[in-house]
Chains A and B, each alone.
Chain A
Amino acid sequence: MSDEPLKKTPLNQVEKDLGGKMVDFGGWELPVQFSGILDEHDAVRNRVGIFDVSHMGELTVRGPQAVELLQRSTCNDVTKLEDGRAQYNGLLYPTGGFVDDILIYRMADDDYFIVVNASNSDKDFEWLEQAAQGLDVEVRNVSPDYAQLAIQGPEAERVLQTMTETPLAPIKYYRFDRGAVDGAPAIISRTGYTGEDGFEIYVSPEEGPRLMRKLVEAGVQPCGLGARDTLRLEAKMALYGNDIDQTTTPIEADLAWIVKLEKGDFAGRDVLAREKSEGPRRKLVGFEMVDRGIARHGYPVVDGKEEIGVVTSGTHSPTLKKAIGLAYLPLDKSAQGSEFNVLIRGKETRARVVPTPFYKRAK
């Protein structure tokens, strides 16, 4: 632990006022919960909740060769984007491992807005700046310019629509528009990290607190990091630092759908091409516990005395009322229905590979 003071988002005081239980989250002071994880989880699945995700970083990539830079540095095909659309993508090392998993918004054909993980924002910025050398493109770290609020749940559109004149219904999943929310200029994006319908809005740090208070007054449940984790895990959305990192490739992480080998050369392409044709060494699978217990991040998967894999995320699923998780397993042991043992505090505990996502909302 460093002795540096915790970083605070623009919503810090609002969260304390709302009774948030604040914790150190990678150097940021953020609420782990307000009324309770189960309660907040339930609000997002059935009504609507709001999360402060202002700790996330934002970069801009602008210039005539912006597309070229992004095509070289990421595995998904950025040329498939149109203005007003967002794309989930991987920023990769030449080894095929993740620098970060990111969201790319196309504002114009030479103007991209990139949302990155909080703990990676400096690293991502430096990585992209390095890769931009010799190209006619400017990379900027604009993280301090934004507060980010995620309004998630089946009632998100109805509630948010009362605060904006921008028509929300035409903004389909993974699209965005620019408008105003309660008078505050905003990027309004139909994206999220919960597996539920909802929006992520980017506003100035000055406007953030007022919007959060207004949304909570309108009946939106304030939610913390705890519910964010149970929600994203049920939806099998990867968490950088848990499920993916510099040592794992998108193919191993079961994210082959963001790997577009046909787009031309990019960092890590050789490794990913080989993994696609020959199969990766290991694969990220979803599992349910067969025996009682919750297998959590870092618990080893064992076969007799041998450690053959590792649990990357695990929790009690509030929706399914079961213990679920994600683990890397050797490819030949990763088929659905396969059973394996996790060492939970020294005790071999049975788990079974199941289809994912664990939870999928009714359309």
Chain B
Amino acid sequence: MATPEDNRYAKSHEYVHLEGDIATIGITEYAQKELGDVVFVELPQVDTELEAGDELGSIESVKAVSELFTPVSGTVVEINETLAGKPDLVNTDPFGDGWMIRVKVSDPTEVDELMTAEEYDEYVEKEAGH
């Protein structure tokens, strides 16, 4: 799966898709593959204030748990309720229906500091190759 070019990417493998001042955040294709079968996703409540780098929740796969971090600061305006019943959407459609939260960003310039798709692909290649 090609890494979508209309997103920005964090080193902790979250993507940010910005439309206006609303950022949709989820994890990347690479991250979901590394995690394996996702069995549930713990997300913050709507209206939670997040600073870039804060832990926003966690993902449990059968294999392990991993923490989720928000790459941008802002207020949670929506969480993906569908994941409670269908956590496997994170595996099957990470960039689409497997999104996790939407944040009203307080500083859109934070998004510019994240990696582009091309940069992220290079980063992943290095990480995978150790």
A191-233 contacts to B, CB under 8 A, are: 226, 230
> How many whole Å from A321's CB to the nearest CB in chain B?
8
Pick the interface stretch among B32-40, B98-106, B113-121: B32-40
Q: What string of 1s and 0s marks CB contacts (under 8 Å) between A32-66 and chain B?
A: 11001110000000000000000000000000000
B65, A296: Cβ atoms under 8 Å?
Answer: yes
Given A292-B42, A294-B60, A345-B58, A226 contacting B36 (CB threshold 8 A): yes
**A37: nearest chain-B partner, CB-CB:** B62
User: A318 interface residue, CB < 8 Å from B?
Assistant: yes
- Nearest Cβ on chain A to B52's Cβ, whole angstroms: 20
Residues in B with CB closer than 8 Å to A293 are: 42, 60
Of B42, B58, B60, which contacts A316 at CB under 8 A?
A: B60
Q: Mark B38-55, 1 if CB is under 8 A from A, else 0.
A: 011010000000000000
Is B86 located at the chain interface by the 8 A CB criterion? no
Does B63 have its Cβ within 8 Å of any Cβ on chain A?
yes
Chain A residue numbers with a CB within 8 Å of B60 are: 293-294, 316
Once the chains bind, are A230 and B58 in contact (CB under 8 Å)? no
Interface size bracket, A side: 10 to 19
Q: What is the bound-complex CA distance between A230 and B60, given in angstroms?
A: 14
Bitwise interface map of A from 297 to 318 toward B, beta carbon under 8 Å scored 1, else 0 = 0000000000000000001101
Total residues of chain B contacting the partner, CB 8 A: 12
Q: Which of B36, B60, B62 has the most CB of A within 10 A?
A: B62
Once the chains are docked, how many angstroms separate the CA of A33 from the CA of B65?
Answer: 17
Q: Contact at B37–A37, with CB atoms within 8 Å?
A: yes
B41 to nearest A CB, angstroms?
10
Contacts of B62 in A (CB 8 A): 37-38, 226, 230, 315-316, 318
Contact with B along A16-38 (1 / 0, CB 8 A): 00000000000000001100111
Question: In the bound complex, what is the Cα–Cα distance between A37 and B39 (angstroms)?
Answer: 11
Question: Inter-chain contact count A-B, CB under 8 Å?
Answer: 34
What string of 1s and 0s marks CB contacts (under 8 Å) between B61-80 and chain A? 11111000000000000000
- Cα distance A316–B63 in the bound complex, in angstroms: 9
A318 shortest CB reach to chain B, Å: 7
A-facing residues in B7-54 (Cβ within 8 Å): 36-37, 39-40, 42
CA distance A108 to B62 in the complex (A): 42
A36 with B36: CB separation less than 8 A: yes
Nearest chain A CB to B60's CB is how many angstroms away? 5
Distance in angstroms between the alpha carbons of A198 and B91 in the assembled complex: 31
Cα separation A230 to B62 with both chains bound (whole Å) = 8
| Cross-chain contact B36 with A33 (CB below 8 angstroms) | yes
The closest CB in chain A to the CB of B62 belongs to A37
**Is B40 in contact with A292, judged by CB distance below 8 angstroms?**
yes
The proximity string for A residues 330-351 relative to B, scoring 1 for CB distances below 8 Å and 0 otherwise, is 0000000000000001000000
Q: A315-B62, A316-B60 are in contact. Are A37 and B36 (CB under 8 A)?
A: yes
In the bound complex, CA of A34 to CA of B60 (Å)? 19
- CB closest residue in chain A, given B37: A38
Q: How far is the CA of A36 from the CA of B62 in the complex (A)?
A: 10
Chain A residues, Cβ within 8 Å of B39: 294, 316
Closest A residue by C-beta to B60 = A294
- Report yes or no: A226 in contact with B40, Cβ–Cβ below 8 A: no
* Given the contacts A36-B36, A226-B36, A345-B58, A294 and B65 also touching, CB distance less than 8 Å: yes
Q: In the complex, A33 Cα to B33 Cα: how many Å?
A: 11
* Chain A, range 77-115, C-beta contacts under 8 Å to B: none
Is A37 in contact with B40, judged by CB distance below 8 angstroms?
Answer: no
Chain B interfacial positions (CB closer than 8 Å to A): 36-37, 39-40, 42, 58, 60-65
Nearest 4 Cβ contacts at the A-B interface: A316-B39, A37-B62, A38-B37, A294-B60
CB<8 Å pairs between A and B, sample of 16? A32-B36, A32-B63, A33-B36, A36-B36, A37-B62, A37-B63, A226-B62, A230-B62, A292-B40, A293-B42, A315-B62, A316-B39, A316-B40, A316-B62, A318-B62, A345-B58
